[in-house]
């Protein structure tokens, strides 16, 4: 099964447009086969939420090894809307963010970060209410 790659509003527009196109082609009875084909395709992409053309045009298709070329699927990520300028050298800022145990000083939602190996860290963050959320992270690159 294919992953959804369309926004909900686009899906609704596809279904409505597809129904309109298919029903008008059925009423004409002659020469409407192509319109019926396009109408049913619009309905399919609206119902499934997957557009094959978007896969081809965006380059988000599978690689030869079967791995996705995109890190965050369409519609599932967040957009950064704020920029911050830090008046420090890049390597100094990088080193600060690599000292994971220091991050709770910067990010108040973090309770603790503990180094458990050369590439493994254990994170604890504040969750909803009084709960906490914990996970292990591994640096791959």
pLDDT interval class at 59 (50, 70, 90): low
pLDDT at 111 over 60: yes
Q: What is the rounded CA–CA span in Å between residue 14 and residue 111?
A: 46
Top CATH class of 90-138 equals: alpha beta
Distance of CA 138 to the CA centre of its chain: 21
Q: What pLDDT does 30 receive?
A: 61
Tens of pLDDT, residues 80-91: 778 888 899 999
Q: What is the pLDDT of residue 21?
A: 86
125 pLDDT more than 90 = yes
Lowest mean per-residue pLDDT among 6-10, 57-61, 114-118: 57-61
* Residue 141 in tokens: 């690159």
Sign of the Cα pseudo-torsion (24, 29, 32, 36, in order): positive
Query: What per-residue confidence (pLDDT) applies to 113?
Result: 94
Q: What is the mean pLDDT of residues 56-73?
A: 57
Strand partners, 136: 122
Domain range list for the chain: 1-83, 90-138
Give CA–CA dist 40/14, Å, rounded: 10
């Amino acid at each position: 099964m294919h992953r959804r790659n369309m926004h909900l509003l686009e899906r609704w527009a596809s279904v409505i447009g597809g129904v309109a196109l298919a029903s008008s082609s059925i009423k004409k009875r002659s020469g409407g086969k192509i319109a019926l084909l396009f109408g049913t395709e619009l309905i399919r992409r609206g119902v499934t939420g997957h557009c094959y053309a978007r896969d081809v045009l965006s380059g988000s298709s599978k690689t030869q090894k079967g791995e996705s070329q995109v890190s965050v699927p369409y519609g599932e990520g967040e957009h950064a809307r704020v920029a911050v300028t830090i008046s420090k050298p890049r390597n100094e800022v990088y080193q600060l963010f690599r000292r994971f145990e220091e991050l709770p000083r910067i990010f108040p939602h973090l309770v603790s970060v503990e180094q458990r190996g050369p590439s493994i860290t254990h994170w604890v963050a504040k969750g909803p209410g009084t709960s906490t959320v914990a996970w292990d992270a591994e640096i791959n690159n």
